[in-house]
Structure 1
Amino acid sequence: MAHQGRGSGGPRGGPAQGGASVSRGQGGRGGRGGGRINYGPPIVYRPANGIIPRPDSGVEQVEDARQRARQSPSSALGSLTLTNTMPTRPGYGTEGKPMTVFTNYVTLTPDSNLVLYMYDMKGIQPNAVGRKLSQIIRLILNESNELAGYRNDVVSDFKYTLVSRKRFPIKNDRGFIRVAYKSEGEDEPLQHAQTYTVPLRLTKTLTFADLIADLTSTNPAGQGKSKLEFIQGLNILLNHHAKTNDSLVTIGSNKTFVWEDSEDNATDLGQGLKAMRGFITSVRAATNRILVNINVSHAAFYQEGKLTNLIQAFKAQPFGKTASRYELHMFLQRLRIRTSHFPEKRNRHGVVVVRQKTIWGLAQPHDLKRDAPPPAASPPLVSHRGAGPKDVKFWLRDQARSPKRLIGPQQTDAGPGRYISVYDYFKKTYGIETSNNFPVVDVGTEGRPSYLPAEVCIVLPGQNVKSRLSGEQTGKMVSFAVRPPWLNAKSIEEDGFETAGMSRETNPLLDQFRLAIGQSLITVPARLLKEPYVQYLKTNIRVTSGSWNMKGIQFKKGGKLKRWSFLAIQDVAYPPDSDDIRQNHTAVEALTNALRSNGLDGTNHDYIQGQELAIKDRADPELDAKFAIASKRFDLVLIILPGMKKTETFNEEVYDHIKVLGDIKYGIHTVCVIGNKFRQKDPQYLGNVALKFNIKLGGNNQAVEQSRLSFVKEDKTMLVGLDVTHPSPGSLPTAPSLAGMVASVDKDLGQWPATLRIQNSRQEMVSGVGSMLKTHLEHWRSLGKHNSLPDNIIVYRDGVSEGQYDDVLEKELPLLRQACKEMYQAGMEPKLTIIIVGKRHHTRFYPIQDKDMDPKGRGNLKPGTVVDRGITEEGVWDFFLQSHNVLQGTGRPAHYVVVLDEIFCARAKAKKVNAANEVEMLTQALCYTFGRATKAVSICTPAYYADILCERARLYNADLFKGSNGGSSTVASAGGQSLASVKVHERLRNTMFYL
């Protein structure tokens, strides 16, 4: 049976899921709990009017004119930079077959006479945040006397900024607006309503004639002027429509959803959640024009309706499992509800006034003691977290027995009164009998509880989920989100423009502010780069559509494997069939043959008979004991995890713990596989496993043809990948940020040892980057067997947003330079280039002609598609590269931005080559060196490895990052180490343990 291109084996280095696994950026693996929708054969996108626009020739003319001016011998513009160090574009790429593609951008044309005035509102007194702040600004815009004459002239981000097309007549451009607070829907403020004082301060006057002149100028001088305020103003203007439309739901500043449960727009995720399809927009400055980037977006929301229904849905987890009280507590935190036990109130327009409350969590012991000054008199009595109405009692003061009053907040000065249960209070006061099967929720302020039975709470619509989705929900979300490119482009045209406020029929602000937005996607020039050959031991393999066949081929270099064995782990709750045990052994024999045929050194005499082990959970001491023995006997242990759907949570938790035991505590390589997949003995699956074996053991799976690596083939250039991962929603407050660095040790680019650092939570810049680089320079010398340190260092920096480019240069670059100064002789320091790798953007490309579609790519463009003009700024050195074969969904190209260059431009000048071509071709070639797949990956290998490394570090502290009730890290439970001291075992430290 012929091999297909080998996948990465499993997500993020996890257990292998199947032979057809998907490389990064290709949509992920098949969803658990739902199959893919069949959208039919792939087709190309066609606009509704049937007209395919040509790329704007004026854009290309301005791009070329500026480049000629920069490169003129009589001009100093060739060295012009946007900042002190960030290089300008040295030219456009020319390699590859030219073509034209659609992209998810439209033009935005402001009136040349448009002037916008930006006002800052920071310093509101008393302080207000969140929804209250938004309501205050809403009152200012709609009801304040001061802005009565500006109702159609002012928009806001509903945080701290007003944007007006008229200047306010206030002295020195500073003033105040006072507003009495009232809740949404109320006719008048309450009798003693809080009055807020909102300052107004003019911060910027935006004259769009200046911006238009700057963007359309053929003179590159002055192109470094900041356009951020203009872009901010336009984004606020564009998104104001959605934020003031009751039929739309917004997330953050620029995601918009139509709140309707149509089959095409929503899907049930289970456990009380649903997924919605909407759109995300962003205004961008480009050469010769302003553009709006619009893309399909997806998010998870709570199911609205009765809170009791939501609780029941959440508790009914897959395979008969029941959510813990702590999990329910975390699930409900900050959920907004309205109450149903009071008579309905309507305003003068007949609209129901919603009494909103926010759930802090379940009632729990010591609620009042969290921040009450000691001693707290007569605190609530709660038998346990999640107690029902009969088991939650509070102190009812004699003067507070009015049926008009909601329970609490509790007072520290109790006064005369008595304890009463929530059950009795609601029965006597409202005539409502509540069930003790549902928990009491706390809707007070933190530390000052107010209790409500779940039966009187109604979940409000439009609340997005910030916590981590379960595996089952994630699978359903992926199934819902994965759609072919032509369909997403069609959705943007048919629904996106209207939803996102980009249609003048639905958004009157466009006419009021004199903005014209194109109603069709633009086209831009693109090029298709030739795919490189991939090299193995005795042969070169031709790549087709980003993948290649390795059948009968041996690794470029085999690793050293002396002794290994397997451990088949079972969940005691689900014992395996006797046939499974027998099949494990035959599958291991098949794997041994695969390892041998692929050229792993030592596989003729190294296998030791494996064992089965049934455990109840990850903390079972038997698992630790097995690792203690294995670490003294073996180089590597193959772990066979259960293959049943009902053991997925068990698999995930055990997998995390196995990596801690192997990587941290005992220093032994581990490769995990899923039992039911492994036992099928599929050659492709076994081939995926062999890739992991070899690369962990010091081998080199493949190399890319040397001619595509430019000067890297001279063995004087070290490539570095750097990434940072941060706590995600649902992580514990003590979860840190984690930085990971990988680096090559020689020109073959087969081995990339790693270093990890723990740093302050959500700190993006890597404070330990200098010491990390010094470690890798030592690796270059020792592991790479070099007599000298590299002449060049190219850093691919992942995980940095646009607004942080300068931070990289101001904070990380000095540390890198200092490390080099300490490692090199004076005057011999290496040349540095730093390239940012962006993957969280929303730029997409769509083929125009059938011949431009990848035959294996579900309607996407072919691997190697590069775009560096049309949607970019001429003065910024960046490009988009779709390097991979997209197996499902719409492909996302990687965005590369050169923020420092001491290598390519100097070389281009000396060798008379195109620096843009050099960077683009090298970056593409690096996408074919990823050792865990016989596929090109979606971001270049250094950045991808750094990302995987950071994900592995998260596993070491899974309890912190996944929000476990215990709060102790997995590492601590395994090895007794504190978080700050987590280090990879010395036996694995110089290996690729993280793959």
Structure 2
Amino acid sequence: MYSAPRNHRGRGRGGGGSDRGRGGGGVGAGRFSGNYGSYRGGRGGDGDGGFSGHIGQAGGRGGCSPYGGRGGGGGGGDGGRGGGGGNYSSYGGRGGGDGGRGGRGNYSYGGRGGGGGRGYGGDGGGWGRGRGGSWRSDLHQASSSSGVERMLEQLSLKPEDQLIRFSSRPPPGTIGEKFLVKTNHFQVEIDSSLKEFFHYNVSIKPEVLFSKDYGVIMEELRNLYLETDMNGEPLAYDGRKSFYTRNRLPFVCKEFGFSVRNKQYVVAISLVAVIDLKKFWQFLNGKDVELPQAVIQALDVVLRQTPSFKYTQVRRSFVSTDFGTSQLGDGLVALRGFYQSLRPTQLGLTVNIDVMAAAFIEEIRVIDFVKQILWRERDTRDLPLSDVERLKIKRALRGVRIEVTHRGNTRRTYSISGLSSMPASEETFSDHESGSNKHIVSYFEEKYGVGLSYKALPCLKVGNKGDISLPMEVCKIVGGQRYKKKLNKPQTANMLKVNNLCPGAREEKILKIVSQNNYTEDLYCSNFGIKISKSLTVVQARKLPAPQLKYHDSGNENVCQPRGGQWNMQNKKMFRGGTINTWVCINFERDISDSHASSFCSKLGGVCNDYRLLYNRSSVLPPTRAVPEQVEWALNALYGDAMRRLKPRNQQLDLIIVILPDNNGSLYGEVKRICDTKLGVMSQCFLAATVKNMKIGTLTIASEKINIKAGGRNVVLEDALLQCVPLVSDKPTIIFGADVTHPSQGNDTSPSIAAVVASLDWKLLGKYAPELSAQAARQERIEDMFVMCKAHFLSFHEENHQKPERIIFFRDGVSEGQIEDVLQHELKEIQRAWMSTFNESSSPPITFVMVQKRHHTRFLQGENNFNFYDKNGNVLPGTVVDTGICHPVLRDFYLNSHAGIQGTNRPAHYHVLHDDNNFTEDQIQTLCNNLCYTFERCNRAVSYVAPAYYAHLLAYRARHYLGVDSSSDGSAAAEHGESSTDHQLKPLPRFHANLKNRMFYI
């Protein structure tokens, strides 16, 4: 490894610190060490720190080689801050002392936190993120996730040597017809006279318990002291611990004491940094590849300041009744609003604005909320709750804030912790004034003159200990409470209606929001010299051709050219038919007779055989009737009866056909849990409506699912069959898909579930073997990647009798803030798994691509050429954008691969994070587009690559294994800081050994 000559790696030393301030000096002699193009720049000088609890002087900046020098360590006490790293992929410095904060590294790791105690992670530049603190924590992590081998490997390597570099952006693609498209990005101009601005830290004592109170306290600070002590300077506040100003305040550090809502607070304000915009202007002019993340973060805060005063903030969005509301049902209402985010792009800065809606609990009486949930047509007042109803109400109300209405103008608020075990008519409490027990009903009538009407309903349990009982009818739900739990099916359908705007209507609403926000006249934007265009940004797009699909030669149409991202099975035969020789049917719908169930199964078998799936028309047993309450007993009994007939013939049961009620609650999940983990048998579920109607189209899709489960193939890419897929067909290539699904908010006992699938049939790119793992709730990076990848490599070798010589990995569900951590951990684990499996010293080339669907970029009709748009104004499948609104340095592109069904299409956002295989943009974009046509559950291109989609399905299926209480947020990226290991997590049952390497999850 090349390093800079010794005389280029000097180490400076900063001045001493005091117990109240920063250490002085500290820019080391190695500041610009290392020649451009050398392997590693010099290390910046170490700075001396302040005493315990204060920030020490930053160390010097590392040299400007492509890998960058390591920044100097922060000095001294517990508050030492490491210096900045060098350019490109450097580490920040190491923070000094216990709890020291690591320095900022550009595009990569922040510095390591202080040793000894638990350190804070450093700030990453670009997309980077700081590494965590104490050495003890590192040892624990190594041993727990992958054992002693990983710990020894980490101990033997320097952190810099472990660093994985991001892929750089190659020239844009050229394949496909070019056209112009509008996007919901608006270009941003910054006043060129802006040279610097100022970052201040906000510390509030005593600690603030509720996030909304930060804004209330800071607003009072503004009212009292802005004009007198801060020169009337507008403060762009981030809602927590920082604000930014255009001009310097007349103090470095100052404390302010005042009262808010009869509570005394002390707010300490201190200057943290002077943010120099020199790098920012170089970045905008294309003269420097370094992303000025601190500047962009500050400007984003400025843009969000006025909306945060006017509207309710939901993460990066704002909602208000001003934008409209819609009923969702069961006591919920959708508040409309807009999403807003400042983005660095090849065009400079843009602000991404999109319409959105969020679910809130309706501001109504609790008794009316309960009525909506129970959907009771009769009067509720004399009807006690059943056990099922009680559980439903308890789950819906737990954690909801209410205010009492029986005390005149006194409006006390509480959070609901549960329900009383007795109805209000029987509920008693200990009256401290009289020293006797009193009945709730008589107490409210005597004390407040309130006669209770709903005496059969339980009381609400509130208070810190849940020891206060309140009748439901004297409580009202406090407004402005966001509903964070999973929506039920009717609510989800209603929310989709709210959000499903066609491109034309979406564009109109977005432009109206931009006009309403009036950024030009905004106090904070004007102060910082920010101007926002009022026009949608127009960029160049290309339409990639759809791949040709190959069916079996026995069909009248054996080669299919999809049109508009979809096709059908007319005149086609499955490419490779599977076999279903033994099967049974179980019926949980009482309105479906045995004869009708038999007719349905017979018709299904006929459709399967028509398409080349060899399906025995005779079942092992006649259809069996069962009740949902005995699902496990019924399935076990049916399986036992079938195996008593099959075992003497040395046969296994191939398939269980399951007929479900249309509204089956958790029954579907229970069926899958039992079949997948207990019985080890494939299952295919049908709703009662499907069985009654017997539509050929529905049965055709079902036959395709069954064929995949039986080991067949419905269709393949013709290029794959001809072995001409670039950088795939030329040598053994394994393609992975990975996703993590998280439990719903408030569920602290269910784990996050990681799913990794991998291709087994190298040449045909269609069969994906499953692997699952449970991990700490809301942990995004896949901790057991090593174990799962090793299993996949072994399966690939068994199937193909060759080692994979190329790896392509598609990762779903990662937010931008977690990219660095996920890439650095997971890519190394993939490499290590391959080396361990085949006893090699190095791994084959890997391309690691992250797929994002949860973003707000949309394509809108940009020109009057209707050849590139469908009848609703959506861009056609195959539309790709890799210039303009894409990242200025890192490698990404947007691909709309699917046909719109309703609303505005959301393109997938692909980030090529690492690419040893050296794909051109045309090659990787074409591969991604073509893989969207290989999703074998339907005859249409899907919205993102099939391997990642399969991983999502597998993770979602495994959520059912945890039981009926394990509701999920889907594949949403876990929010920073929400990972929890304090609760006892439910173990994840494994799928049965009979299902190994089979696509039972499709």
Question: Under TM normalisation by the shorter chain, which class is it?
Answer: 0.7 to 0.9
Whether contact under 8 Å (1:104, 1:294) holds in the other structure is: yes
Q: Write the letter of the residue equivalent to 2:579.
A: K
Q: Which residue of 1 aligns with 2:573?
A: 554
* Cα drift, residue 431 of structure 1: 1.8
Q: Which residue of 1 aligns with 2:910?
A: 896
* Cα drift, residue 299 of structure 1: 1.4
1:204 corresponds to which of 269, 273, 279: 273
The separation in 2 between residues aligned to 1:356 and 1:106, in whole angstroms, is 45
Q: Which residue of 2 aligns with 1:168?
A: 249
Task: String of CA shifts for 1:546-582, please: whole Å, max 9, x gaps.
Answer: 0112223222212232212322222xxxx3165xx43
Task: String of CA shifts for 1:458-489, please: whole Å, max 9, x gaps.
Answer: 32333221122221221222223222111111
2:498 corresponds to which of 469, 474, 480: 480
Whether contact under 8 Å (1:709, 1:925) holds in the other structure is: no
* Cα drift, residue 392 of structure 1: 3.1
Worse-superposed segment, 854-863 or 865-874? 854-863
Whether contact under 8 Å (1:179, 1:196) holds in the other structure is: yes
Q: Which residue of 1 aligns with 2:482?
A: 464
What SS does structure 2 have at the residue aligned with 1:546?
A: coil
Q: Which residue of 2 aligns with 1:541?
A: 560
849 and 231 in structure 1: CA distance in 2 versus 1, 3 angstrom threshold: same
Asked if 1:342 corresponds to 2:407, the answer is yes
Q: Which residue of 2 aligns with 1:771?
A: 787
What SS does structure 1 have at the residue aligned with 2:626?
A: strand
Taking the TM superposition and a 5 Å limit, the aligned residue runs for 1:227-246 are 227-245=292-310
The separation in 1 between residues aligned to 2:473 and 2:617, in whole angstroms, is 67
* Cα drift, residue 870 of structure 1: 0.7
What SS does structure 1 have at the residue aligned with 2:765?
A: coil
Q: Which residue of 2 aligns with 1:216?
A: 285
Whether contact under 8 Å (1:718, 1:790) holds in the other structure is: yes
Q: Which residue of 1 aligns with 2:438?
A: 420
620 and 923 in structure 1: CA distance in 2 versus 1, 3 angstrom threshold: closer
Whether contact under 8 Å (1:643, 1:677) holds in the other structure is: no
The separation in 1 between residues aligned to 2:592 and 2:848, in whole angstroms, is 54
The separation in 2 between residues aligned to 1:814 and 1:438, in whole angstroms, is 57
What SS does structure 2 have at the residue aligned with 1:929?
A: coil
2:181 corresponds to which of 86, 101, 104: 101
Whether contact under 8 Å (1:485, 1:890) holds in the other structure is: yes
The separation in 2 between residues aligned to 1:631 and 1:136, in whole angstroms, is 70
Q: Which residue of 1 aligns with 2:118?
A: none
The separation in 1 between residues aligned to 2:440 and 2:222, in whole angstroms, is 41
147 and 839 in structure 1: CA distance in 2 versus 1, 3 angstrom threshold: farther
Worse-superposed segment, 824-833 or 858-867? 824-833
Q: Which residue of 1 aligns with 2:28?
A: none
Worse-superposed segment, 755-764 or 803-812? 803-812
Q: Which residue of 2 aligns with 1:942?
A: 947
Task: String of CA shifts for 1:234-267, please: whole Å, max 9, x gaps.
Answer: 222222222222xx32222x2212215x8xx322
666 and 397 in structure 1: CA distance in 2 versus 1, 3 angstrom threshold: same
Whether contact under 8 Å (1:112, 1:208) holds in the other structure is: no
Q: Write the letter of the residue equivalent to 2:862.
A: I
850 and 691 in structure 1: CA distance in 2 versus 1, 3 angstrom threshold: farther
Q: Write the letter of the residue equivalent to 1:945.
A: Y
1:359 corresponds to which of 412, 415, 427: 415
928 and 150 in structure 1: CA distance in 2 versus 1, 3 angstrom threshold: farther
Worse-superposed segment, 667-676 or 203-212? 203-212
Whether contact under 8 Å (2:962, 2:989) holds in the other structure is: no
Q: Which residue of 2 aligns with 1:90?
A: 170
Question: TM-score, length-normalised on structure 1?
Answer: 0.77
Q: Write the letter of the residue equivalent to 1:537.
A: H
The separation in 2 between residues aligned to 1:963 and 1:592, in whole angstroms, is 35
Q: Which residue of 2 aligns with 1:391?
A: 426
* Cα drift, residue 724 of structure 1: 0.7
Task: String of CA shifts for 1:114-135, please: whole Å, max 9, x gaps.
Answer: 3432223356434534333443
* Cα drift, residue 169 of structure 1: 2.8
Q: Which residue of 2 aligns with 1:274?
A: 333
Q: % of aligned pairs identical?
A: 28
* Cα drift, residue 927 of structure 1: 0.6
1:863 corresponds to which of 852, 872, 877: 877
* Cα drift, residue 684 of structure 1: 1.5
Q: Which residue of 1 aligns with 2:471?
A: 453
Taking the TM superposition and a 5 Å limit, the aligned residue runs for 1:300-319 are 300-316=359-375
Q: Which residue of 1 aligns with 2:743?
A: 727
The separation in 1 between residues aligned to 2:879 and 2:416, in whole angstroms, is 49
Taking the TM superposition and a 5 Å limit, the aligned residue runs for 1:716-795 are 716-729=732-745, 732-745=747-760, 746-782=762-798, 784-786=799-801, 788-795=802-809
Taking the TM superposition and a 5 Å limit, the aligned residue runs for 1:51-66 are none
Whether contact under 8 Å (1:113, 1:209) holds in the other structure is: no
The separation in 1 between residues aligned to 2:829 and 2:376, in whole angstroms, is 49
95 and 356 in structure 1: CA distance in 2 versus 1, 3 angstrom threshold: farther
Q: Which residue of 2 aligns with 1:991?
A: 998
* Cα drift, residue 620 of structure 1: 5.8
Q: Which residue of 2 aligns with 1:701?
A: 714
Q: Which residue of 1 aligns with 2:813?
A: 799
The separation in 2 between residues aligned to 1:619 and 1:116, in whole angstroms, is 65
The total of aligned residue pairs comes to: 813
Q: Write the letter of the residue equivalent to 1:747.
A: K
Q: Write the letter of the residue equivalent to 1:611.
A: P
The separation in 1 between residues aligned to 2:305 and 2:988, in whole angstroms, is 48
5+ residue gaps, structure 1, are: 1-68, 70-74, 183-188, 346-354, 365-382, 399-415, 906-914, 965-976
769 and 150 in structure 1: CA distance in 2 versus 1, 3 angstrom threshold: farther
* Cα drift, residue 799 of structure 1: 1.0
What SS does structure 2 have at the residue aligned with 1:244?
A: helix
Whether contact under 8 Å (1:587, 1:680) holds in the other structure is: no
Asked if 1:178 corresponds to 2:244, the answer is no
Q: Write the letter of the residue equivalent to 2:635.
A: L
Asked if 1:951 corresponds to 2:956, the answer is yes
Q: Which residue of 2 aligns with 1:511?
A: 526
Higher relative contact order (CA 8 A, sep 6+): 1
Q: Which residue of 2 aligns with 1:332?
A: 397
Q: Which residue of 1 aligns with 2:583?
A: 564
The separation in 2 between residues aligned to 1:828 and 1:244, in whole angstroms, is 55
2:683 corresponds to which of 670, 682, 687: 670
Whether contact under 8 Å (1:853, 1:861) holds in the other structure is: no
Q: Which residue of 2 aligns with 1:836?
A: 850
Taking the TM superposition and a 5 Å limit, the aligned residue runs for 1:677-716 are 677-706=690-719, 709-716=725-732
What SS does structure 2 have at the residue aligned with 1:741?
A: strand
Task: String of CA shifts for 1:833-853, please: whole Å, max 9, x gaps.
Answer: 110001111110012245446
Across the aligned residues of Structure 1 and Structure 2, the Cα RMSD in angstroms comes to: 2.9
What SS does structure 2 have at the residue aligned with 1:727?
A: coil
The separation in 2 between residues aligned to 1:437 and 1:681, in whole angstroms, is 46
The separation in 1 between residues aligned to 2:865 and 2:710, in whole angstroms, is 42
Task: String of CA shifts for 1:277-297, please: whole Å, max 9, x gaps.
Answer: 221111111124211101111
589 and 126 in structure 1: CA distance in 2 versus 1, 3 angstrom threshold: closer
1:920 corresponds to which of 909, 925, 931: 925
The separation in 1 between residues aligned to 2:617 and 2:397, in whole angstroms, is 56
Q: Which residue of 2 aligns with 1:639?
A: 657
Asked if 1:250 corresponds to 2:313, the answer is yes
Question: TM-score, length-normalised on structure 2?
Answer: 0.77
What SS does structure 2 have at the residue aligned with 1:585?
A: helix
Q: Which residue of 2 aligns with 1:497?
A: 514
Q: Write the letter of the residue equivalent to 2:241.
A: Y
234 and 422 in structure 1: CA distance in 2 versus 1, 3 angstrom threshold: farther
Taking the TM superposition and a 5 Å limit, the aligned residue runs for 1:365-444 are 383-384=421-422, 387-388=423-424, 390-398=425-433, 417-435=435-453, 436-444=455-463
The separation in 2 between residues aligned to 1:111 and 1:174, in whole angstroms, is 28
* Cα drift, residue 616 of structure 1: 4.2
Q: Write the letter of the residue equivalent to 1:290.
A: L
The separation in 2 between residues aligned to 1:821 and 1:123, in whole angstroms, is 51
The separation in 2 between residues aligned to 1:716 and 1:142, in whole angstroms, is 68
Whether contact under 8 Å (1:877, 1:897) holds in the other structure is: yes
The separation in 2 between residues aligned to 1:210 and 1:884, in whole angstroms, is 40
